[in-house]
Amino acid sequence: MDRYLTRFAPTKDGVFGRLGRFTTVEEEWQDNIPNISCIPTGIYYCERSIFHRGGYPTFEIMDVPGRSLIKFHYAMTEEDLRGCVGLGMHLGVFKVKDEDTGRPTHKLSAISTRKAFGAWMESMMGVTTFRLHVVDYKAPEMDFE
């Protein structure tokens, strides 16, 4: 079984993509440094596992060079992650306090993450392993002349 995670929005708020009908959130690219970077594009095998910080079943992305314990779980923003992949129902905006000024500001986030994660795990019922293709979407260049 193959699944495709297509990243379409690398932003200062994280890297957003799609995994089937779900939105994904990952940390920004930081040279694949453990716990602070999204993983490199490529093809990986995923195995059923447990997300120990949350105590619930999930899948782990295996054999990422120099990395381990990369799991899927619910997460709204990159601050909820340590190099893992968060799932949401859709992309939205989350109100937060600016770290420098303390004033309200907004950031992109995954929305309805627990609902999405539950639906994704339900869709994976009976699956123990799958192949994950991680790709960066590149919009075609357009000539408007």
pLDDT (tens digit, 9 = 90+) per residue, 31-45? 999 999 999 999 999
Q: Domain limits at 56?
A: 2-136
- Looking at residue 20, the DSSP 8-state letter turns out to be T
Q: What average pLDDT does the segment 79-107 reach?
A: 89
CB-based contacts of 98: which residues, under 8 Å, 6+ apart? 104, 105
Give dist(CA 121, CA 139) in Å, integer.
Answer: 30
Give dist(CA 81, CA 72) in Å, integer.
Answer: 10
Query: What does DSSP say about strands 42-51 and 129-136: parallel, antiparallel, or unpaired?
Result: antiparallel
Report if residue 18 sits inside a domain: yes
Residue type at 84 in one-letter notation: C
Q: How many domains does the chain have?
A: 1
Judged against a pLDDT cut of 80, whether residue 58 lies above it is answered with yes
Report if residue 142 sits inside a domain: no
Report if residue 145 sits inside a domain: no
